[in-house]
Amino acid sequence: MKIKLPFKYVWTLLLIYSFQLSAENHGPEFEFNGFISAQYHLSDNDAEYNHGEEQGLEATRAGLNARVDINERFRVIGQAFVIKHENDSSAHIDWLYTEFEFSENFDIRVGKITLPIGLASEYQDVSFAYPWLNTPASFYSDAEAPRGPQLARDSYEGASLVWKQNIDDWELSVDLFGGDLDLDQMLSKNVTGFSLEADWEQIYLIELTRYQGTMRQVMIPTDPILAASMEGQQHTAWAAGFQLEQLNWLVMLEKGRVEMSDIPAMTTDTWYVTAGYRVGSLLPHVTFESFRRGRPNWNDQDTLTLGLRWDLMDKVALKFELSQIRLNQGNGLFLTRPDSSKINILGFGVDMVF
């Protein structure tokens, strides 16, 4: 992983300071945690959806999370990730950063950090951590341009300042971040943004995030004209989310918008709402997603998903889902236009953490 020069200097200073502090402590503490999500999907259409997870074992994945607490204030945290593809598997580092805690209220992080946009963005590979098999694609898909919403993207390389404060029963936090996003087919340079979070007793959670960056080195083999027009454009994204988790109820609602300055065809509006009610170890839930991209709407799809999470054991969950994608216009999140406007996908999976 490459770290830009200014961040490297900050990182080195923090490291030197931390070693000074570590002399007063008992040395570093190591912790490892892992997750596995084995999934199988069946679709009544052959068109490739999102990342191809509509067929077979494509969304199956595993990861290892490592944390080294060098002392009480300084730590290095990272997550490596392996995902199954059609004929092979690929591994990459999800995120890897150093964190220095100036006080209980103030942290600085430097490295490859998850873009904090979306309630589930920080753990979206860890299926065990949420009710669905995968996070709602209309909002969270990182499918390449021009298909995906270009909202909740890969991790950025840069720095983040996090301020936290408890006020009565609220925990408030502000995350100011900046860096570069290295996407598969393009770069988003000089990304700057903020994320505000208000958490009331882990029952209500409100999140508001906005970031912007400049598109560079855009390569879209299927649409070189679009790629040329995106070069140098300002990419702006914002999202607002609300979560309620009280007694047996779970409600999640998120809305996001993406704009690419002079290209109305890349304007995306997306939202979803999930509601679930826990009955013992069972959590049945329903999700409605909306994805609109372009003006006029030349990509427009809605998705309705009925799902069931069954917490079979303490760290094992089984999941079943039935989704119907209704294509109103364009390809939606499909690679090519399916021969039907209603596509059904059945999925089931086993999630584990250890």
Residues at the site binding other proteins, with contacts judged by CB under 8 A: 31, 33, 35, 63, 65, 67, 69, 72, 77, 79, 95, 97, 99, 104, 114, 122-123, 125-126, 128-130, 166, 169, 171, 199, 201-203, 245-247, 278, 281, 283, 311, 314-315, 317, 353
Q: What is the C-alpha to C-alpha distance for residues 78 and 63, in angstroms, rounded to an integer?
A: 10
In the complex with other proteins, which residue's Cβ is closer, 95 or 100?
A: 95
Alpha helical stretches, state H, 194-233 = 224-230
Phi, psi dihedral angles at 266 (to 5 degrees): -100, 0
* Selection from 97, 94, 68, 95 nearest residue 83 by Cα: 94
* Selection from 344, 345, 346, 348 nearest residue 319 by Cα: 348
- Residue 171 Cβ, how far from other proteins at the closest point, in Å? 6
In the complex with other proteins, which residue's Cβ is closer, 46 or 201?
A: 201
- Residue 288 Cβ, how far from other proteins at the closest point, in Å? 22
* Selection from 162, 182, 161 nearest residue 1 by Cα: 182
- Residue 353 Cβ, how far from other proteins at the closest point, in Å? 5
**CA–CA distance from 245 to each of 22, 108, 290 (Å)?**
39, 29, 23
In degrees, rounded to 5, the angle at the alpha carbon of residue 267 between the alpha carbons of residues 263 and 270 is: 170
In the complex with other proteins, which residue's Cβ is closer, 199 or 269?
A: 199
User: What sign results for the dihedral spanned by CA atoms 147, 148, 154, 158?
Assistant: positive
In the complex with other proteins, which residue's Cβ is closer, 43 or 98?
A: 98
**CA–CA distance from 253 to each of 243, 256, 313, 317 (Å)?**
6, 10, 28, 23
Q: What is the C-alpha to C-alpha distance for residues 353 and 347, in angstroms, rounded to an integer?
A: 20
Would you give the DSSP letter of residue 237? E
- Residue 42 Cβ, how far from other proteins at the closest point, in Å? 26
- Residue 166 Cβ, how far from other proteins at the closest point, in Å? 7
- Residue 67 Cβ, how far from other proteins at the closest point, in Å? 6
Are 238 and 256 in contact by the 8 Å Cβ rule? The answer is yes
Q: Where are the beta strands (DSSP E) in the chain?
A: 29-43, 61-69, 74-84, 89-103, 106-113, 156-167, 170-182, 187-200, 204-216, 234-246, 249-260, 268-277, 282-293, 299-313, 316-329, 342-353
In the complex with other proteins, which residue's Cβ is closer, 154 or 245?
A: 245
- Residue 46 Cβ, how far from other proteins at the closest point, in Å? 34
- Residue 9 Cβ, how far from other proteins at the closest point, in Å? 23
- Residue 155 Cβ, how far from other proteins at the closest point, in Å? 11
Which residue shows structure tokens 């490596």? 80
